[in-house]
Amino acid sequence: MSTNRVVDPATQTVSPDTVYPGALDHHHAAPALPNGFETQADELITHYPASKRSASLPLLHLWQETFGYISPDGIEWIAAKLELQPINILELVTFYPMFRQHPAGKIQIKVCRTLSCALGGGYALCDYLRQKCHTAEPDAHGLAISPDGKYSVEFVECLAACGTAPVIMINDDFHEDVTQRRADELLLKYTA
């Protein structure tokens, strides 16, 4: 008779590198936290008195807003702060598409590529934006970044405005019915 017991995954020690090879870069030091960052994190945690684990998403947002993306160091720091295993934070980062695991441009342009936007010219619009922003070819993550780091252009899945395709987001701003002419107007409004 087998005595296999069920183990709570939160108590397991699993390195992010085991699940996501290359997630940890042991060759450089963790980034210095800006003044007030830890105080801000501690304050966010107080909003979740029943379970510190519930502060995982707010801390991930804070990290990304501060550093631009969720680095392996960020995963480790947040896990330690919440007394969790790094895998518990990594699973959130890899599940939610709003979290990025690599640097992007200061002005982030996301072009919807699902059916309505594709039929409405989303692919041509993405090519046009890459050309206008002088980005390099997309990397392995599908992200095209300009040499000066000012712009990044990438495809994303549905932005939930199928009736007004093509749709893009510039940083956190949503734009519908974007033509090349409208894209030119929008780019003039965003400066890094």
Question: Other C-beta atoms within 10 Å of 59: how many?
Answer: 22
Tell me what pLDDT residue 40 has.
96
pLDDT < 50: residue spans in the chain: 2, 4, 6-7, 9-10, 12, 14, 16, 19-28
Which pTM value belongs to this model?
Answer: 0.65
End-to-end CA distance of the chain: 65
The reported pLDDT for the residue numbered 10 is: 47
CB 27 within 8 A of CB 102: no
- What was the pLDDT predicted at 27? 44
- Measured distance CA(92)–CA(94) in Å, rounded: 5
Can you give the pLDDT at residue 98? 80
pLDDT of residue 13: 54
